[in-house]
Amino acid sequence: MARAYSLRAKKSDRFSFGLWTIMNVGRDPFGEATRPPIDPLDVIVELAKRNVYSFELHAEDLVPMGTGARERDRLVREAKKRMGDYDIRCTNCGSNCFSHPVFKDGAFTNNNPEIRAFAVQRYLRAIDMGYELGCRLCNLWWGRDGLEVEASKDARDAMKWLRECCNLLTEYALKNYPDYELSIEAKPNEPRGDIFLPTTGHALGFIATLDHPEKWGVVPELAHVRMAGLNSVHEVAQALEAGKLCGIHLNSQKPLRYDQDIRFGAEDLKEAFFVVYLLETSDYRGTRSFDCHPYRTEDREGVWDFVEGNMRTYLLLKEKVKTFQTDKEIQKMLKGIRAKQRPLPPTKEIAATQYDAEKLMATRLPYEKLDQLVVELLLGAR
């Protein structure tokens, strides 16, 4: 049967990949690389050829630590040239303050103020580079900012240091690039036993304490939420509802395990569907960014199967969202369940009302049927 929709990505789908996801060589804590590295400049071109809208990077993905100023400028120039020639944008430039051993006990929350300042400097440079590449977002994932040994840091100090560093970045951005935004990507653990601000909710609470909360948002990553055994749909919904969703890292993950970072939808289709539902039915205009990596068993060719797979699954789920919205049976059921919404009356009235619990509980909630309809829809039976 011919499909009425295409599984080929368009620029207008706003798909994005981290350069690091494609540059991943399959190394894990127990094994060496299984495929050769791909040059970041080639990654930019290959993504663009597949109609990917943008890429994200850590400044160090393009300009490795220790690169001299001239070579840095050449690499950035070359990246810009390829971006122009092949039509692809850069939509987030962060910094890798987690790989180098200097950050072995953290970057922004290192007990050593000189290391904290060094980390801030790297982010300042990442903001400069991002601006040159035309991007307006610096997403912070502070992977090493956490601990294993509780006695080693006072978590209250850690909060203060994180705040101090974030405020310095805001000050710099406001002064030099007033339209630049910053965001926090939370993760519960890995590579640290515990990472500070483990969920998007923690990050939102922390952002409210910054000097300029309006400059800050969040970038939830589905796998990070599932690593904590939590509900990724709700995490994205809270960020959206707060007007703080700057971006999203789409991927997949078996709950409560090591950071698997697998292809979007590979493990958790229903949850993935409801995340796509949120993105496609809200006013979210950001990218649909994939932050995962190909299985370690893949070779170079498989890397591009992985790229296509992520986008195809998103496009399929987007179609399912449309079906969900037009499915008469589902919509009728939702109308019944969600009833007529209205604001609650004033407390005076609430306090004085006689609520009839027996009557109120009599409303039928046909959730078995509703959930089955969603399952059937996802299985292609509707």
Contacting positions for ligand XLS (CB under 6 A): 58, 94, 141, 143, 185, 187, 221, 249, 259, 291
> Nearest-CB residue to ligand XLS?
141
User: Do the beta carbons of residue 174 and residue 130 sit within 8 Å?
Assistant: no
Query: Is 105 annotated as catalytic?
Result: no
Sign of the torsion angle spanned by Cα atoms 144, 146, 151, 152: positive
Quick one: residue 243, left, alpha or beta (phi over 0 = left, psi -120 to 50 = alpha)?
Answer: left
CB of 176 to Mg ion, least distance (A): 26
Provide the CA 203 distance to its chain's centre, in angstroms. 13
Residue 269 or 292: the one with the smaller Cβ distance to Mg ion is 292
Residue 105 or 291: the one with the smaller Cβ distance to ligand XLS is 291
* Local structure of 66: helix, strand or coil: coil
Of ligand XLS, Mg ion, none, which one does residue 94 interact with (CB within 5 to 8 Å by kind)? ligand XLS
- Which residues contact Mg ion (rule: CB under 5 A)? 221, 249, 291
Residue 251 or 378: the one with the smaller Cβ distance to ligand XLS is 251
**Cα–Cα distance for residue pair 121/117, rounded to 1 Å:** 6
Pairing outcome for strands 146-147 and 194-195: antiparallel
Catalytic residue among 28, 39, 42, 61: 61
DSSP result, 214-271: GGEEE--BHHHHHHTT--HHHHHHHHHHTT-B---EE-B--TTSS---BPTTSS-HHH
CB of 223 to ligand XLS, least distance (A): 7
Half-sphere exposure of 278 (CA within 13 A, CB side): 21
Catalytic residue among 13, 58, 261, 291: 58
CB of 235 to ligand XLS, least distance (A): 14
**Tokens matching residue 51:** 């109609």
Query: Is 58 annotated as catalytic?
Result: yes
CB of 365 to ligand XLS, least distance (A): 37
Residue 292 or 378: the one with the smaller Cβ distance to ligand XLS is 292
Catalytically active residues, by annotation: 58, 61
